[in-house]
Structures are given as structure tokens and as C-alpha cells.
Amino acid sequence: MIVSLEEVIRLLNDHGVRYIVIGGWAAIIHGTARSTSDVDVVYARDRENLKRIVGALQPWNPYLRGAPPGLPFRWDERTLESGLNFTLTTTHGDIDLLGEVSGGGRYEQLLPCSTEVTAFGLTCRVGTLDKLIQLKRAAGRAKDLEVIAELQALLEERKKLDDAADASS
């Protein structure tokens, strides 16, 4: 099942979760012509935010993606606090909750490298194009390396537009 970014944003926003969308959906928001089957978010790891995340996702029955059925897994604050990065499957689709990412660090380190956007009439934070390129390079997976050229082309196009706007003002 492919998770709806709109549903995830709405859910996290309704619960006051502090997060930044990265990965495939962030690239799509910036204009790539890619598709993705999960939502990747970097989340703040303070106690209050952990509590909000657990409460938000509880109705979606999160379970470790790829884990054998029946493996004991408890979705609670202690689990979230004890771990860092969680690849979850839910009744609404797959979500990757990332406490830290290669090339970007934790939520607080990524925050200055994110921008607020409106998608589906909802506001969320998304990694900037520059930062997404850096994160994709650091991940080093074939699927991440494939999208870098497209992200760089978008970045160059935006810089040209910005330069043209600056020159006309």
C-alpha cells in the first residue's frame, strides 16, 4: 500500500509533531518527476515530541517493516526513545521515522536546511534542494544517486530564475 503524503502531514500536524519531510516526497514537492512508496521524516527527539508521534501513529498500528509476523513489537514512547530510525509499515502505508540521517544529522541540525511549504492545503517543513542533494549523496544507494542529477538540474533552474529576478529589480 502506498502511503498518502497528505494523510501523513495531516496526522502529524494534527498532533503537533515537529518533523521535516525528506526523501522521495521532498524531491517530488521540489519538482522531480519521481514516485515513492513511503514517506521519510526526520523527527525531533525531545520527550514531548516522542509522545506526540506515538499518539499520532498508534491508530495506524505501526510495525517494523520487514520484521517477521508475530515478532514482539510495542509502539510506545520507550521504544521510540530507545531506538533512533524506524522503518514502519502501517495500516495506511510505509513511513520511515528518522531520528538522524547520514549527511544531515538530527532534526535540530536539519531545521536551518529546511523550508516551510504548503502541500494539499497543509503546511509542513521540507528539506531544501541543496540539503536533499547532500542527503542523497550521503545515502549512496543506487536509487538515491539516480535522482541527484534531476535535483541538481532543478536547483540550477531555480538559481537562474532567482538571478533573472534580481537583475530585473
**pLDDT, tens digit, for every residue of 85-133?**
999 999 999 999 999 999 999 999 999 999 999 989 999 999 999 999 9
Q: Where are the beta strands (DSSP E) in 23-76?
A: 38-43, 63-64
Cβ atoms of residues 45 and 107 within 8 Å = yes
Give me the residue label for grid cell 547520514. 102
Cell representation of residue 74: 510495542
Cβ atoms of residues 104 and 43 within 8 Å = no
Give me the residue label for grid cell 530585473. 168
Mean of all residue pLDDT scores within the chain: 92
Of 56-60, 79-83, 125-129, 141-145, least confident by mean pLDDT is 141-145
Residue count of the chain: 169
Instruction: Write down the pTM of the prediction.
Output: 0.90
Give me the residue label for grid cell 533552474. 157
